[in-house]
């Protein structure tokens, strides 16, 4: 049985809503993922981030393989009720599967060679050592 608050979320045709994970202290956006109603309900009840993995077609409990879990301090819904914002504490300091703090580590630079993406954040831990 769905909770009334879940019925207020506008999930897309696939039953998903985008979820932004933002560091509760620094305000830095760490990642964007997808949630279905089950993932959002579990996140709300456990205060641990749970997403829907489109590639695996199943629930993805953040950190289940890497140990880099997300403690959820607040859950917010945008004005159109179609985007969720999680204010989180990133355990282990790594949110990205590339071993970086944030998935948003590439910046569009423009120089003599024209526009190109440049990695501007360091790898904190080699992914090969995270995902054994």
Domain extent listing, the chain: 4-97
Dihedral sign for Cα atoms in the order 16, 47, 101, 81: positive
How far does the chain reach from its first CA to its final CA, in angstroms?
38
pLDDT confidence bin for 9, thresholds 50/70/90: very high
Q: What is the pTM of this model?
A: 0.92
User: What pLDDT, in 10s, does the model give residues 47-77?
Assistant: 999 999 999 999 999 999 999 999 999 999 9
- CB-side neighbour CA atoms (13 Å) of 63: 15
User: Residue 2: its pLDDT value, please?
Assistant: 56
Q: Look at domain 4-97 and name its CATH class.
A: alpha beta
User: How confident is the model over 11-52, as pLDDT tens digits?
Assistant: 999 999 999 999 999 999 999 999 999 999 999 999 999 999
State mean pLDDT over 92-100: 95
Q: Which of 13, 77, 90, 78 is nearest to 40 (CA)?
A: 77
Count Cβ atoms within 10 A of the Cβ of residue 29 and give its class: 0-12 exposed, 13-18 middle, 19 or more buried.
middle
How many angstroms separate the CA atoms of 23 and 86, rounded? 8
Q: What pLDDT sits at residue 50?
A: 98
**Overall size of the chain counted in residues:** 132
């Amino acid at each position: 049985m769905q909770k009334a608050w879940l019925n207020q979320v506008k999930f897309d045709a696939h039953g998903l809503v985008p979820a932004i994970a933002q560091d509760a202290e620094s305000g830095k956006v760490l990642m964007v993922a997808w949630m279905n109603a089950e993932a959002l309900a579990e996140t709300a009840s456990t205060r641990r981030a749970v997403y829907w993995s489109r590639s695996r077609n199943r629930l993805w409990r953040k950190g289940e393989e890497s140990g880099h879990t997300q403690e959820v301090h607040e859950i917010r819904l945008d004005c159109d009720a179609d985007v969720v914002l999680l204010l989180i504490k990133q355990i282990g300091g790594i949110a990205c599967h590339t071993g970086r703090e944030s998935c948003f580590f590439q910046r569009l630079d423009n120089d003599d060679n024209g526009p190109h993406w440049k990695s501007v954040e360091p790898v904190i831990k080699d992914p090969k050592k995270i995902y054994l």
